[in-house]
Chain A
Amino acid sequence: EAQVTQNPRYLITVTGKKLTVTCSQNMNHEYMSWYRQDPGLGLRQIYYSMNVEVTDKGDVPEGYKVSRKEKRNFPLILESPSPNQTSLYFCASSPQGPVGYTFGSGTRLTVV
């Protein structure tokens, strides 16, 4: 089944403890992206990647890191999480071209 897989689905952590949210797609898509979704603010793009080793900042990159060492994987790293990073996170992928993203199931992160 073609899909974008994120793990974990739910995560509660403490301020300052480094964490990684994994994302993997099995569709051989070139483009991958991370979003966070907050009530009233909608989906905001954190980082995106065109292909292996090619990444760029989205609208809200502060406090996040990404890497794209393999085409299928695009992990999101929070090196020192803070409570304002409590949010619902989505990973998405798409093939090259003017097409829409396919989204993963989401990761609900709570930082206390």
Chain B
Amino acid sequence: QKEVEQNSGPLSVPEGAIASLNCTYSDRGSQSFFWYRQYSGKSPELIMSIYSNGDKEDGRFTAQLNKASQYVSLLIRDSQPSDSATYLCAVRASWGKFQFGAGTQVVVTP
């Protein structure tokens, strides 16, 4: 079992709709959680971080964390074609151990 799991997609989302991405992790001691966006051929870019249970909003992005269920999600509201990318969930379990899921490809269709 992988330590950070994501659906690989592709997730097809109509322009203007909400994209919902999910991530589960296995290490109960994990303390910090991140979402990265990666365009094809580019490096990962940090878009959201969340540390406590509940929701955190930043513009069109909302991250949700449920430590009891070991579950992190990302909502992208009003999806735009520029949101088409692979979204990587990352979990920091200790000072250096920083693990990624395999990523979910999102395709926003006009």
Contacts and interface: CB of A to CB of B under 8 A. Distances in A.
Interface of A: 31, 33, 35, 40-45, 48-50, 56, 58-59, 90, 96, 98-106
Of all A-B residue pairs in the complex, the 9 with the closest CB atoms, nearest first, are A42-B102, A98-B32, A48-B96, A43-B100, A103-B43, A100-B46, A100-B34, A103-B44, A42-B100
A44 B51 CA distance: 22
B20 interface: no
14 contacts: A33-B98, A42-B101, A45-B97, A48-B97, A48-B98, A50-B95, A58-B97, A98-B51, A99-B32, A100-B36, A100-B92, A101-B98, A105-B42, A105-B43
Interface string B2-42: 00000010000000000000000000000110101000001
Interface of B: 8, 31-32, 34, 36, 42-46, 49, 51, 88, 90, 92, 95-103
A50 B43 contact: no
A49 B102 contact: no
